Structure 1
Amino acid sequence: MIDLELLPQEELEALSDAGREVMLCTRVLAKTGDTMVGELLRGAGPFYEWRHYPSNDVYDPEYHAQYYYHAHPPEERVDGEHGHFHTFLRPLGMPEGVKPLDLPDLKPDPDGNDALCHLVGISMDKAGRPIRLFTTNRWVTGETWYAAADAVRMLDGFVIDHARPSWPLNRWITALMRLYRPLVVQLLQQRDATIAQWQQDHPDTNAYEDRALEVTSEAYVSVEEHISRVELAMRRLRRRQREKRGVA
């Protein structure tokens, strides 16, 4: 568990703001009995395993962030999971100086915006609540591989700032990425460590394409508990600041 009280004040305040945004979007939908997943599936007809929802993904042409939702067969889902979001950033939205890892099978990117990076997966339960964050091996999403340090630099660029397929959903997933940023950083670092160890243990395989390695890091989450921890860390920070100024 990440010690939130060790975070700088600016970052802690950003988490707190993101938590309020997440809860606002959740509350607005709950008033009409809706959920984040329901926003995607409304009017989509029968829900099919593996199909992307929406069919052409959600993409913001200004920030070049992208996501979709889908589900695996029941036997491949974690307990309580309905499906999960996959989140990405495309090259035109990446910070300056970021480049793919120079692997032997690195594919060219003719139009300069295809070499997308998978950031994190977000598992959702049947009630439409996040229950797990996870990272995946390269073959899972067909991404281009970027080192964790570069992927971390991309996190603040994940912004979906339009109203389709749902304004509350787009605001929610943008804020959720902010709320869990410290954990996603940790998961991306663990992802690289897992890949490196796998390659060492299986020297005759291409670790990035090995179907035996799918999930490279994961953490189960509770949004409400996490927001409570953020707010507790904020209260303790303010108390320390008052004590430092000599204010009771």
Structure 2
Amino acid sequence: MPLPSNRDAAIAELVDLSASMAEEGRALIERVLPADPAEYRQWEHYPEGDAIDPDTKARWFYHAHPPEERSEGEHGHFHLFLPLGAFDGLEPLAGPAKEGAAKVVHIAALCFDTDGLPTHWIATNQWVTEEYLQPAHAVIDRLDLADMSQAGEEKGIDHVGRWLTLALFACRADIEALLTDRDAALALTGPRDREAEILAQRPFAL
């Protein structure tokens, strides 16, 4: 399905899709997590192996930190990524410290509360996701490539990839500001500084 032509169109489709999922009785997070809450594990990626769009290779996964490491009222968050291949010819500011890390560039994470509602966007430091860190302007220039509409469908997870794509496009201005703020914070610390985890945040607002 083509991407919306503008922000208003993205918001309209996002609202319609949210209403459709509500009518089905399965909220966004419920489509991702195990049906049995007892099987849900902190730190694990949902779905296993991440959800990757077959065309764009953009991807997402959902996970949660232990309660003492979450924001108040937070359940967990979706991490959104572009493929490293979208940045061919551009040297990353920093790369993963561990071998076998996914070849991805982090865009942002979207946090959800315990009621299953989106609350705010965050930009994390490079060590958090072991990404190939790229400067804000390079990520912003490639946001149109962040189409995850089909990501998750191969694992039987419907609508989630499209919803996240629409949210990203509807909040484009906030994402650009978030990444710019992230780079400003990075200038005062370093990509491997374990004391600096969340570098910037913006409310989820339509």
Relative to the length of structure 2, the TM-score reads 0.87
Asked whether the equivalents of residues 95 and 153 of structure 1 are also in contact (C-alpha less than 8 Å), the reply is no
Task: Give the aligned residue type for 2:73.
Answer: G
Residue matched to 1:216:
199
* Residue 150 (str. 1) matches residue 133 (str. 2): no
Q: Is the 8 A contact 2:108 2:123 kept in 1?
A: yes
Kindly indicate whether residue 74 of structure 2 is the aligned counterpart of residue 72 of structure 1: no
Partner of 1:236 in structure 2?
Answer: none
How many residues are aligned here?
Answer: 198
Match of 2:18? 26
Unaligned runs of 5+ in 2: none
Is the CA contact 2:107–2:123 (under 8 Å) kept in the aligned structure 1?
yes
1:86 corresponds in structure 2 to: 79
User: Alpha-carbon deviation of 1:43?
Assistant: 3.7
1:117 alignment partner, one of 88, 105, 128: 105
Where does structure 1 differ by over 6 angstroms across 4 or more consecutive aligned residues?
A: none
Q: Which amino acid aligns with 2:57?
A: H
Q: Distance in 1 between matches of 2:127 and 2:88?
A: 26
Deviation at 1:33, TM superposition (A): 2.0
Q: Are residues 1:35 and 2:27 paired?
A: yes
8 Å CA contact 1:85, 1:123 repeated in 2: yes
RMSD: 2.4
Q: 1:48 to 1:107 in 2, by over 3 A?
A: closer
In the superposition, relative to structure 1, how do residues 72 and 19 fare at CA in structure 2: closer, same or farther (>3 Å)? same
Structure 1 residues 64, 134: closer, same or farther in 2, change over 3 A? same
Higher helix share: 1
CA distance in 1, matches of 2:71, 2:175: 19
- The alignment-based identity, stated in percent, is 30
For the 8 Å contact 1:35–1:127, the answer to whether it is kept is no
TM score, norm. by length of structure 1: 0.73
Name 2:171's counterpart in structure 1: 180
On the 8 A contact 2:171/2:204 being kept in 1, the answer is no
Higher strand fraction: Structure 1 or Structure 2? 2
Q: Following the alignment from structure 1 to structure 2, what is the Cα–Cα distance between the partners of residues 131 and 34?
A: 19
Change beyond 3 A, Cα 1:175–1:33 = same
Which one has a bigger Cα radius of gyration?
1
Q: Residue 124 of structure 2 contacts residue 198 of structure 2 at CA under 8 Å; is this kept in 1?
A: yes
Q: Give the partner amino acid of 2:21.
A: L
SS at match of 1:209: coil
| Residues 1:166 and 2:151 aligned together | no
Distance 1:44 1:60, change over 3 A: farther
**Measured at CA, do residues 95 and 17 of structure 1 come closer, stay the same or move farther in structure 2, by a change above 3 Å?**
farther
Structure 1 gaps, min length 5: 1-11, 199-206, 227-248
> Aligned partners of 1:22 and 1:63: how far apart in 2?
20
